Amino acid sequence: MIFSFQILAQESSPAITDQVNDQAVATPEEDTELPNARRIRRHLNLIIGVEHDEEFLIPEKELIYKGRVDFFDMKRIKGTDFFRISPKKVGNGIVTIHNKKTGQILVELRFDIRNDDIEKTLREAKSLLGDIEGIEFKLVNGIILLDGYALIPKDLIRIAQVLKTFGDQKIRSLVTLSPIARKKIAEYISRDVNNPEVSITAVGDYLKLEGVVNSEAEKNRIIRLVSLYMPDIVIENAPDTEHIKIVGRKSSGKIEELIIDLITVKKDEEKSEPPPKMIQIVAHFVEYNERYLKNFSFEFSPRLSQVDAAARQPAGGSLTELAQLIERLLPKLNWAKKHGYARVLDTGSILVQDKQTANLQRDVTILKGYIPGENGAQTPDIASASLLITTVPTIKSERSGLIELKNLTVRLSDPNENGTATTNVTTTISVRDRQSAAFAGTIKKKKDADFGGPTGAGAIITLNQGKNYSKNTSNFVVFVTPIIKASASSGVDQVKKKFRLKD
């Protein structure tokens, strides 16, 4: 009977079909749920004892709840679209909210209810371990789980001590030592060894040493440096499973087993002088100028003027006649104040071998303007600015990194509005590796003060008062920083990254 009714509705007109469908939906005896593409879907994390208000934009109609409704109580706040949810017990599941009349699903709610004790433990654990970089706090199956990588073994020890305080039933850890830390250690060791023929790379938890040296003593020195930089050993106890058993390679606990020594010593006939060290000379020229100007003047100097009879205007009163005979009748008051400063930083850098002469010169041509020439021609006014660095660096001691800069000569020529300022410095100093020294500087201070004012020529009476005050301060300092490098290619990767260069 129902099947015949549906066929008849499909063959009818669209208006009759819509009317029949509306009647079918409104029939209370029909218990099927209608699909709803606009169904609201939410996922809530709830805590027992803490009420939660959630907004659902659904019509105010009589509703029914299906699913795991025994885990919480839920009711609408009167006059609003907010529903107050009161969790009752721990668990998770899905609850759907339906229109009681039509059976339409309005809201699909997925929930996860936890105990308040877990939240308290999570807050306390974050307060104790929040300053350790690289770890994350996760809630898995009612247990707090620490995951991530620690940079140093001392962080792992601290995590273990905190976990022991709370117990295994509340918090556990999967944190391991970061592999990036071992790569950083390899970079520091390579910088300290400072031998271009020896390479140190990190392979997992191991350090691989490769290359050739001239003597056994040099090889032993490198191995001792590597042992000095090696951190504490972290032995991971792999849990036994049903079918397999994992035994770590670091179970012996010896640092020597983590260092793979592949360095060979050259034979006597293969030995050669080591290549000379490279030294980078960086010079900074710092200049600070400060200018201050203040002037004040008051002038009252009226004077008589001769007026021809043809230029005399008709008499319009005593004020008009007085204005035609006396000039500068009103006093003049001038006041000005100016303050400014300038900081100039110029840097020069050059890379040279040990005990070789380094020379860096840079010339810049500046167009200041044009000067009138013959026959109305304009001649350009050109000024040249130059920078010159000359020295002979010598490494006095590789262990202490002491470098002697012989015949250090610096010349700086800077054009300005008053001319060209040239500074020449020649000296010999000793500086340690990667340390800066201010070896030259000049200080210039100038103050000018003028009082009074000009006398008015031809004035009946002169009353003037003025003061001009100016102050100029100039400081110029030269810094030098020597850097010992194993080869000329050291630091090229940073330069390529800065200028986005590719091989």
CATH number, residue 36: 2.60.40.1550
Q: How far is CA 48 from the centre of its chain?
A: 42
Minimum mean pLDDT range among 102-111, 164-173, 331-340: 331-340
The mean pLDDT of the chain is 75
Residue 274 falls inside a structural domain: no
Token couple for 59: 């019509």
Does one domain contain both 292 and 219?
Answer: no
- Dihedral-angle region of residue 142 (phi above 0 means left; psi in -120 to 50 means alpha; beta otherwise): left
Distance CA 99, CA 304 (A): 105
- Chosen domain end from 137, 161, 177: 177
Assign 238 a pLDDT band (cuts: 50, 70, 90). low
Q: Which amino acid belongs to residue 190?
A: S
Does one domain contain both 226 and 241?
Answer: yes
Distance CA 470, CA 338 (A): 9
Distance CA 480, CA 478 (A): 7
Q: Which domain holds residue 366?
A: 281-499
The stretch 179-192 carries a mean pLDDT of 84
Token couple for 214: 């001239």
Q: Which amino acid belongs to residue 207?
A: L
Output the pLDDT for position 27.
38
First to last CA, the chain: 81
- Chosen domain end from 212, 239, 265: 265
Does one domain contain both 223 and 363?
Answer: no
201 or 387: whose pLDDT is higher?
Answer: 201
Output the pLDDT for position 134.
84
Distance CA 459, CA 301 (A): 5
Residue 222: name the closest of 202, 206, 198, 239 by CA.
198
Does one domain contain both 214 and 288?
Answer: no
Q: Give the phi and the psi of residue 425 in degrees, each rounded to 5.
A: -135, 135
Does one domain contain both 188 and 86?
Answer: no
Does one domain contain both 305 and 454?
Answer: yes
Does one domain contain both 45 and 121?
Answer: no
Distance CA 485, CA 195 (A): 9
Does one domain contain both 337 and 242?
Answer: no
**What digits encode the pLDDT tens for the residues 451-467?**
766 665 656 666 677 77
Residue 272 falls inside a structural domain: no
**Quick check: 408 pLDDT over 50?**
yes
Q: Which amino acid belongs to residue 59?
A: P
**What digits encode the pLDDT tens for the residues 370-395?**
677 677 677 777 767 677 888 888 88
Does one domain contain both 241 and 156?
Answer: no
Residue 120 falls inside a structural domain: yes
* Pairing verdict, β 143-150 and 171-173: parallel
Assign 6 a pLDDT band (cuts: 50, 70, 90). very low
CATH number at residue 165: 3.30.1340.30
Q: Which amino acid belongs to residue 436?
A: S
Strand order in the sheet with 278-300: 332-353, 278-300, 463-485, 437-451
- Chosen domain end from 177, 199, 228: 177
Portion of the chain with pLDDT greater than 70, in percent:
68
243 or 38: whose pLDDT is higher?
Answer: 38
The strand pairing partners of 157, in sequence order, are none
DSSP state of 36: -
Domain count, the chain: 5
**What digits encode the pLDDT tens for the residues 328-353?**
656 666 666 667 766 666 777 888 88
Output the pLDDT for position 116.
77
Single pTM value for the model? 0.40
What is the dihedral sign for C-alpha 489, 491, 496, 499?
negative
Cβ atoms of 185 and 148 within 8 Å: the answer is: no
Output the pLDDT for position 94.
92
Residue 358 falls inside a structural domain: yes
Does one domain contain both 12 and 96?
Answer: no
Residue 271 falls inside a structural domain: no
Residue 486: name the closest of 248, 259, 211 by CA.
211
Residue 275 falls inside a structural domain: no
Does one domain contain both 425 and 487?
Answer: yes
Output the pLDDT for position 110.
92
Residue 165 falls inside a structural domain: yes
Residue 476: name the closest of 405, 408, 426, 412 by CA.
412
Strand order in the sheet with 72-76: 52-55, 82-87, 72-76
Q: Which residue has the tokens 């997925």?
A: 110
Cβ-based burial of 309 (10 A; exposed 0-12, middle 13-18, buried ≥19): exposed
**What digits encode the pLDDT tens for the residues 477-496?**
888 888 888 776 766 666 66
The stretch 219-244 carries a mean pLDDT of 74
Residue 449 falls inside a structural domain: yes
Does one domain contain both 310 and 380?
Answer: yes
Instruction: Show Cβ contacts of residue 482 under 8 Å, excluding neighbours closer than 6 positions.
Output: 279, 280, 281, 282, 393, 403, 405, 431, 433, 434
Output the pLDDT for position 205.
77
